[in-house]
């Protein structure tokens, strides 16, 4: 979902600058079920991206991930937009071919559009510091606070990928910290899938959890805005879209110190250090969660004001100007 939102936002920014733009979807087809290992997943997705790009005629192409660009041979100017690099997110044997191919792909791109400074630094380390002059850090815009849902829960979390999102850690922490009768809404995953995964890792379903599955975006943002705290237990974050949406809504973020190009971690620490657990374990996250739930109205208001200040670089108008002045002139 984060990628789709980011692609739509970039397409709108390009059009606002006076250029035409088409989003090309990448269907996986019958090869989709082969995505059982890291190496196979990236091979399937990279080949699907090659098929999707065939026949596309454009003055320039933007690939919205390193994976989508790994096997491309573009004839027109092209950019690669990415939240992370294989050097960071594909460790071990399963990421060997991706890391080897990545350095050349990044070095040959006309323009690199990392979503964060951390991703930009990783690209320079992979492809050489000469690519620094061809990089423009272009994050997606962060939605600002909307009208809170009247039925919003005490806590809310996102767990579309239960392993990556640390659903086991989230449930253990909630079982420790949840006040009697409190509700935790978990988006992005249906109850049956969540319970199957929890059973596999030996974690019981805690009381008070509501599995929301896929939620329409306006409804999701309203739930986030109305919750007392957003809980994050992710094991790795390529950017941190769900957490940044929570900060944009002014909702206190209780989180583990998730590694990766996680742009939400620094503002979370600056706004309320006690809400950032010192370690990724249930007791530490439960303590941060309990602190967030206990924040009074004045503390929550100060948190929201501080978050708006820190999220100024993610303002839609500022990003539209960046695309018009820095991105398109280097591609078209």
> Quick check: 142 pLDDT over 80?
yes
Query: How many other β-carbons are positioned within 10 Å of the β-carbon of residue 77?
Result: 16
Cα 263 from Cα 310, distance rounded (Å): 11
- Check: CB of residue 289 under 8 Å from CB of residue 295: no
> Quick check: 149 pLDDT over 90?
yes
Amino acid 164: pLDDT: 95
Give the mean model confidence (pLDDT) for residues 93-100: 93
Amino acid 82: pLDDT: 95
pLDDT band at 241 (very low <50, low <70, confident <90, very high): very high
Give the mean model confidence (pLDDT) for residues 64-79: 94
Per-residue pLDDT tens digits for 163-222: 999 999 999 999 999 999 999 999 999 999 999 999 999 999 999 999 999 999 999 999
Long-range (24+ apart) CB contacts under 8 A made by 217-220 are 217/5, 218/146, 219/149, 220/187
Amino acid 33: pLDDT: 81
What DSSP assignment string belongs to 233-271? --S--SS-HHHHHHHHTT--EEE----SS-TTHHHHHHH
Give the mean model confidence (pLDDT) for residues 215-240: 95
For residues 32 and 90, the model is more confident at 90
> Quick check: 145 pLDDT over 80?
no
Amino acid 127: pLDDT: 93
Amino acid 1: pLDDT: 75
Axis-axis angle for helices 241-248, 217-226 (nearest 10): 60
Amino acid 293: pLDDT: 98
- Cα pseudo-dihedral 324, 328, 329, 332, rounded to 10: -140
Cα 118 from Cα 109, distance rounded (Å): 19
pLDDT band at 143 (very low <50, low <70, confident <90, very high): confident
Cα 177 from Cα 258, distance rounded (Å): 20
Amino acid 36: pLDDT: 79
Whole-angstrom CA distances from 26 to 48, 51, 81, 262, 298 are: 6, 8, 16, 26, 47
pLDDT band at 146 (very low <50, low <70, confident <90, very high): confident
Per-residue pLDDT tens digits for 277-292: 999 999 999 999 999 9
Residues 239-277: b if buried by 16+ CB within 10 A, e if exposed: bbbbbbbbbbbbbbbbbbebebbbbbbebbeebbeebbb
- Check: CB of residue 224 under 8 Å from CB of residue 251: yes
Give every strand in the sheet of 78-82, ordered side by side.
61-63, 78-82, 111-114
Query: How many other β-carbons are positioned within 10 Å of the β-carbon of residue 197?
Result: 17
Cα 233 from Cα 157, distance rounded (Å): 9
Chain-centre distance for alpha carbon 101: 24
Amino acid 25: pLDDT: 92
Cα 280 from Cα 291, distance rounded (Å): 16
Cα 98 from Cα 150, distance rounded (Å): 46
Nearby residues of 298 by Cβ (< 8 Å), 6 or more positions away: none
What DSSP assignment string belongs to 193-221? HHHHHHHHHT-PPPTTEEEEES--HHHHH
- Check: CB of residue 282 under 8 Å from CB of residue 259: no
Percent of the chain with pLDDT over 90: 89
Per-residue pLDDT tens digits for 11-64: 999 999 999 999 999 998 877 787 778 889 999 999 999 999 998 999 999 999
- The number of residues in the chain equals 332
- Cα pseudo-dihedral 260, 261, 266, 269, rounded to 10: -20
**Which residue segments constitute the domains of the chain, with CATH numbers given?**
2-141+315-330 (3.40.50.2000), 155-313 (3.40.50.2000)
Please give the model's pTM, rounded to 2 decimal places: 0.89
Mean residue pLDDT of the chain comes to 95
Whole-angstrom CA distances from 87 to 134, 161, 298 are: 19, 21, 43
pLDDT band at 75 (very low <50, low <70, confident <90, very high): confident
pLDDT band at 144 (very low <50, low <70, confident <90, very high): confident
């Amino acid at each position: 979902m984060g990628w789709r939102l980011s692609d739509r936002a970039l397409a709108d920014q390009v059009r606002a600058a006076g250029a035409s733009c088409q989003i090309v979807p990448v269907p996986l087809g019958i090869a989709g079920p082969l995505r059982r290992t890291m190496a196979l997943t990236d091979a399937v997705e990279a080949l699907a991206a090659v098929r999707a790009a065939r026949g596309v005629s454009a003055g320039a192409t933007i690939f919205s991930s390193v994976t989508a660009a790994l096997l491309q041979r573009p004839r027109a100017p092209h950019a690669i937009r990415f939240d992370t690099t294989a050097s960071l997110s594909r460790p071990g044997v399963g990421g060997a071919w991706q890391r080897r191919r990545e350095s050349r792909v990044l070095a040959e791109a006309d323009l690199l559009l990392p979503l964060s400074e951390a991703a930009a630094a990783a690209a320079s380390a992979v492809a050489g510091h000469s690519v620094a002059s061809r990089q423009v850090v272009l994050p997606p815009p962060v939605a600002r606070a909307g009208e809170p849902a009247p039925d919003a829960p005490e806590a809310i979390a996102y767990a579309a990928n239960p392993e990556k999102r640390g659903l086991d850690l989230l449930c253990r922490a909630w079982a420790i910290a949840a006040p009697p009768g409190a509700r935790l809404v978990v988006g992005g995953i249906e109850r049956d899938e969540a319970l199957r995964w929890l059973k596999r890792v030996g974690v019981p379903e805690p009381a008070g959890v509501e599995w929301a599955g896929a939620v329409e975006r306006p409804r999701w943002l309203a739930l986030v805005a109305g919750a007392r705290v957003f809980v994050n237990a992710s094991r790795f974050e390529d950017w941190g879209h769900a957490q940044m949406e929570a900060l944009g809504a002014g909702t206190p973020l209780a989180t583990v110190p998730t590694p990766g190009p996680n742009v939400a971690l620094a503002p979370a620490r600056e706004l309320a250090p006690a809400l950032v657990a010192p370690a990724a374990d249930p007791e530490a996250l439960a303590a941060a969660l309990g602190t967030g739930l206990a924040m009074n109205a004045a503390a929550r208001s100060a948190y929201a004001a501080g978050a708006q200040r820190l999220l100024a670089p993610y303002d839609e108008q500022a990003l539209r100007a960046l695309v018009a002045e820095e991105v398109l002139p280097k591609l078209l």
